[in-house]
A and B are shown apart, each in its own frame.
Chain A
C-alpha cells in the first residue's frame, strides 16, 4: 500500500518536472479527447445516456460517470462542467437518483429545471443530447440521511425535490419504519417533478405520507402555513429537511421555530442561484474579501485593487491600467463594471482584473 503510494507520488513528481504542470496527468488530454473522451484526466468525464421530460420546464439527464468517479450518498450534489460558446461553466445539481441505481447500473440522474433567464440550465435543455461527454466533480454536500429510524418531515419546493427523491428512494429500500411526511409545494399538478416515483412510493411504502400543494391551482391556502404543519403528527419530535427556493426556506424556518423546533433538528440545502443586479444599480457597495475575512464599504469611484489596498491587503498588480492581467483574481459573487469597456459582469464566479473592476452592489472576491 505504502509502496504504491510512493510510486504514485514519485510519478507525479516526475510528471511535474516533464510537463511543467501541477496536474501532469492532464497533459495528454488534448490527444486522449480525440481517441476516447472518457479517458481524459483533467476532470471526471461522464457520458450522457438519456434525456427524459419530467415537466414542461424540467428534464432528467441520466449519466454514466467514468470509473474514476467515487460515488455519492443520498442528498449530495455535484458540479457539472459544461462548455458553451467556448466558455467553461460550472453548475451545481443534486443527484436525484438513489445510490442503488449507481450500484446496480453505474448511472446517476440529474433533474434540471430551466432557470428563468438562466444561461446554462436553458442551454442544457436545448443543446445536450445523448452521447455527449460532460465533466463532473466528485459529490459533496451534507444533506445526510438519518442514521436511526427517527420520524422525519421534508418540506420541498419546485426543483428542491431532487435531494428528497434520492432520500426517499433510499429510505424505502432500507425499509425505514418511522413516519415520514413530505410537504411538496408546486405551482400546478403538471409541475410535480418525479411524480411517478413519488406516487409509487406513497402507495407501496406505508411509512410515507405525501402532501402535494398546488399554489396556483388551489389558491392562497396552498401556500405553506401553520395549518399544513398542524397536520403533521408528532411534529416536535421530527427531524426536518428543507429544500427549495429561498422564500420558502425562510418562511418554513420561521414557522418551525414557532412550533418549538430547534435549529439542530433542521437541515437545509439552498438552491438559489445569485441573480443579476438591475442595470441601473449605482456603483459602489460592500466588498468582501473572502480569504481575509474582511468587509469594507466602497464608493463607486475606486476599482477593487484600490479598495483592497485601502483595506491593507496586498494583491498582486502590475500596470494598474488593465493591460497585464497581473491583478487577475476570482470574484465569487456579485457584479462588477469593467472600467475600460463599461460593461457589467455576470453575478456568479469568474475571473476579473481588480485594477479595472468597480463594484456594482455587494461583491465578494477571493483575496
Chain B
C-alpha cells in the first residue's frame, strides 16, 4: 500500500522532482530537435518502404519485410512521435507539424479524443478507480475496488479482443459504453464524438483496406493481408506496452476521496507509485515511445521522451530517498505480472485470496 508521507515530505518530493524538470527544460535544444527529426525521417522511410514492398509480397521474404516495415512505421509513429508530440513534448520547437493541439496520428482514435481521454483524464487522475477510465479500459477488472461479477470469469477473452483490436478500442474509448449501458448517459449525448470517430476510423480503414489494395489491384489480397498484419503488430505491441505501464502486480490504485484537494506532491506520489517501467535495449525504449519509462513519463509528461532514459537514475534515487517502490523489471517479467493480475481478478475474491495465500 501507499507509503504514508507527511505533507512536508510531499512538498520536498515535489521540490526534488521540479528541480529535475526545470534543469531538463532549460537544456532543451538542438539535440532534442535533431532526435525527433531523425525519428520522423525513419518513420517516413519505413512507411514508404513498407508500401512499396507490399505489392511484391507474393515473394514470401518480401512479404515479411513489407509487413515488418509498415508495422514498425506505425509503431514508431504512434508511440514515439504521435503520443509524445500530442503531450506537448515538442511544442517549444514552434514547428507547426509538431504541435500538440493539432497533431493527428496514424490510428483510429482522433487526436482530439486522445487529448481529452489520455492527456487530461488519464494523466490527471492516474489509477484513480472510477475517474481514470484507462484503468482496465472499462472491460477488465484489475483491483478489488470493483465488485466481482461472474462475467469477469471471461475477462481473459476480453483482454485478447482488446489487444487484437486495440486501435478500435482506443478509438471508441471516449464513447463510455459502460456508462451508456448503465443508462447514466444516452447514446445521443455522444453524437459529436461518433461523427468524428466514423470520419477518422473510415479514413484509416479506407487507406489500409481499400486504397492501397485497389492501387495494386492484381495483387490486392496480398496487400490487404499485409496491411492487416501491420496493423495487428502495432495493436499487439502498443497494448502490451501500455498494460505494462499501469497494470503490473504492484502498480497502486487510488480512491476518489484520496485525491480531493491534493497537493502537487501527492500528485507526484501517485504518478510514481501508480506506474511501472520495464528494462530493455535502446530500441525497445524507442519502439515503446519510451513508455518503458512510464514512471518518468507520468512524472514529466511534457518532457521529450528520449530524455527519460537519462533522468531515470535520478528519479529512482528520489524514490529510494522517500522509501517508495520504483517498480521496474524485465519486459517479460512485467508482462507476466500483468497476465497474472488479469487472471487473478477474474476469479471470485474468495478463490483469489486462497490462491494468493498459497503463493506466499
Contacts and interface: CB of A to CB of B under 8 A. Distances in A.
A binds B: yes
B116 A323 contact: no
A20 B200 CA distance: 9
B28 A86 contact: yes
Interface stretch (A24-32, A215-223, A289-297): A24-32
Interface of B is mostly: helix
B95 A341 contact: no
Contacts of B40: 30
Nearest to B101: A328
Interface stretch (B41-49, B157-165, B184-192, B328-336): B41-49
Contacts of A28: 44
A325 B94 contact: no
A283 B45 CA distance: 49
A34 B41 contact: yes
Given A17-B203, A20-B106, A341-B22, A86 B31 contact: yes
Given A324-B119, A324-B120, A88 B93 contact: yes
A336 to B, nearest CB: 15
A18 interface: yes
Given A20-B203, A28-B44, A351-B99, A328 B88 contact: yes
Contacts of A21: 97, 104
Contacts of A26: 97
A358 B355 CA distance: 55
Nearest to A89: B94
A206 interface: no
A321 interface: yes
Interface in A191-222: none
Interface in A24-57: 26-31, 34, 42
Contacts of B92: 86-87
Contact of A328 (B18, B28, B100, B267): B100
Nearest to B267: A321
Nearest to A29: B97
A5 to B, nearest CB: 22
B254 to A, nearest CB: 16
B37 interface: yes
Contact of B124 (A20, A86, A318, A341): A318
A328 B91 contact: yes
Q: Which of B94, B100, B105, B203 is most buried by chain A, counting CB atoms within 10 A of its CB? A: B94
Contact of A17 (B18, B99, B211): B211
Contacts of A340: 18
Interface in B291-309: 301-302
Nearest to B48: A31
A18 B211 contact: yes
A30 B41 contact: yes
A29 to B, nearest CB: 8
A28 B48 CA distance: 9
Given A28-B44, A31-B48, A325-B88, A17 B124 contact: no
Contacts of B115: 318, 324-326
Given A87-B92, A89-B94, A326 B106 contact: no
Interface string B80-107: 0000000110011111110111001110
17 contacts: A20-B105, A20-B106, A26-B97, A27-B44, A28-B44, A30-B40, A31-B44, A31-B48, A86-B32, A86-B34, A318-B121, A323-B301, A324-B123, A326-B115, A341-B22, A341-B25, A350-B94
The 4 closest A-B pairs by CB, nearest first: A318-B120, A86-B33, A325-B88, A324-B119
